[in-house]
Structure 1
């Protein structure tokens, strides 16, 4: 039985969170606290999987320059395997400013390095090898400069050919093109799925009909996250609605990544759709209680798990 879950972050980042008393444009602000950690959507997924107790997690993708070496070191220090392709330039910084007045979050994201044909070839070779020993390969986040929009579709086909389940969490053209390769799982939020439907000429469909249309294309797990309203899903043709408890969120950045981690955790074990959705929702909610992205405390997760409700998604 394959135990490894591999996460792919093509545009990994150092996530820095600044807590300021008030975010005021055009002024000098002094942070009261600064948190720094390895990030990017796939790295967040890997960290949450590790925190949930999955024994074998490997993070891969591109890492560049001093920032890239820092990323890899931090990932390994946290107990996660790191097997990245070295690219030119510098991996990006992603800055998140938490306003002490209203706890709102303002993000500034750098573009990251530009990859070339040799880096893309090395990445495909790396992912092919990792997929051969993985139960699930999670492909997450934006593409780096120089990568074709069809890259996720190519990687999904490669992962499936190696016998692993390809999960896709992306948006825009990489998501739209990736769907053609039939990933086993997608997780757009409400805004992303409505944009996707509009791009397909299906803008008149409601959320449920749109998710059903994607499921009918052959995607086994179609999950739409709805923020504080929980999630909705079609899994193997069955419609589900996920209700979550009301929370006083500390920081919602990374909740979607934690959700993906929880679902991958259950899927790698062959759990039912209800169990996967409950695990995923509890992880996403637990992340909201942490000050940093992609961080789930086990006590929070254990407290939230029995408070997740799974029902039928009615019209």
Structure 2
């Protein structure tokens, strides 16, 4: 079974308007809510492309209730730890000319709530399961939490993938996760130097060897991806599609990969790039649709380099 852990989930609320005009009444003609947070996105995509995944996350207040309703509507399995404070919200204002994103502050987890999350993780996962732990941390939690979670899961015999940034990622790699999925900028911050795209293959190998990480998946946006898996380097060419929103593309890549990881690396990478490309074809945080993923699979190109 594939599990995801999202410690800092949020409700994404999209407000669609024609134009943002100062000091005038703006008519919102459409509102869309999405269950968001990187791990939750991974679980949503895995469900959409034919698998099952259980999303572990803390949820509170009306926003938490709405996230549960949305996950139920998508038939995504989840294990929610109810918390005292309101789950945070992102407000995205979409105009005809562009997008404005506002991230509202979230409340810290209590020590009891965090302990309950860890207890849930221990209770429902089993040896050889896969866990994707990703995203930011709520206020008050130290980056060392990522180290602790990866170490715990390794001790339990789980296959752990991490998708986060900055100090969180720097702490996580010290505990030797099975895989990580940085983009170019996140990989640069992890290494402490600016990387050019032609340096990614050697940088991915460097990270793998330094921290004992088997799968290093580096997404490059419109330039596809470079991965270092099982001590081999692969280049994944981008699939040309009409881009409506890049939100969740990296999460979709990781979801497609872990979903097919036990088949073959090449097959997993094809599903990864097809899922990612299908995701950008949709507005907001809709993510990919299975019909689009299937249609794009034949266009996926994976090369050993």
Q: Are the equivalent residues in 2 in contact too, given 1:6–1:130 (CA < 8 A)?
A: no
Q: Secondary structure at the match of 1:112?
A: coil
Task: Name 1:94's counterpart in structure 2.
Answer: 90
1:38 equivalent to 2:35? Answer yes
Task: Name 1:29's counterpart in structure 2.
Answer: 26
1:209 equivalent to 2:202? Answer yes
Task: Name 2:155's counterpart in structure 1.
Answer: 161
User: 2:106 & 2:161 partners in 1: Cα distance?
Assistant: 23
1:294 Cα offset (Å): 5.0
Residue deviations 1:67-117 (CA, integer Å, cap 9, x gap): 11222232233212221222221101112233323xx44322223221121
Q: Give the structure-2-normalised TM-score.
A: 0.93
1:221 equivalent to 2:210? Answer no
Which one of 15, 23, 26 corresponds to residue 12 of structure 2? Answer: 15
User: 1:274 & 1:257 partners in 2: Cα distance?
Assistant: 18
Q: Give the structure-1-normalised TM-score.
A: 0.90
User: 2:100 & 2:237 partners in 1: Cα distance?
Assistant: 27
User: 1:283 & 1:64 partners in 2: Cα distance?
Assistant: 30
* Change over 3 Å in CA distance of 1:293–1:134 after alignment to 2: farther
1:181 equivalent to 2:178? Answer no
Which one of 266, 278, 292 corresponds to residue 270 of structure 2? Answer: 278
Task: Name 1:68's counterpart in structure 2.
Answer: 64
Residue deviations 1:177-233 (CA, integer Å, cap 9, x gap): 0001111111111111112211xxx55783232211111121111011111111111
Task: Name 2:282's counterpart in structure 1.
Answer: 290
Gaps of at least 5 residues in structure 2 are none
Which one of 122, 130, 133 corresponds to residue 136 of structure 1? Answer: 130
User: 1:28 & 1:251 partners in 2: Cα distance?
Assistant: 27
User: 1:49 & 1:78 partners in 2: Cα distance?
Assistant: 11
1:34 Cα offset (Å): 1.8
* Change over 3 Å in CA distance of 1:247–1:113 after alignment to 2: same
User: 2:142 & 2:57 partners in 1: Cα distance?
Assistant: 15
1:245 equivalent to 2:248? Answer no
1:273 Cα offset (Å): 1.5
Q: Secondary structure at the match of 2:242?
A: coil
Residue deviations 1:268-310 (CA, integer Å, cap 9, x gap): xx12211111111110111101113252111111111111111
1:27 Cα offset (Å): 5.4
Task: Name 2:140's counterpart in structure 1.
Answer: 146
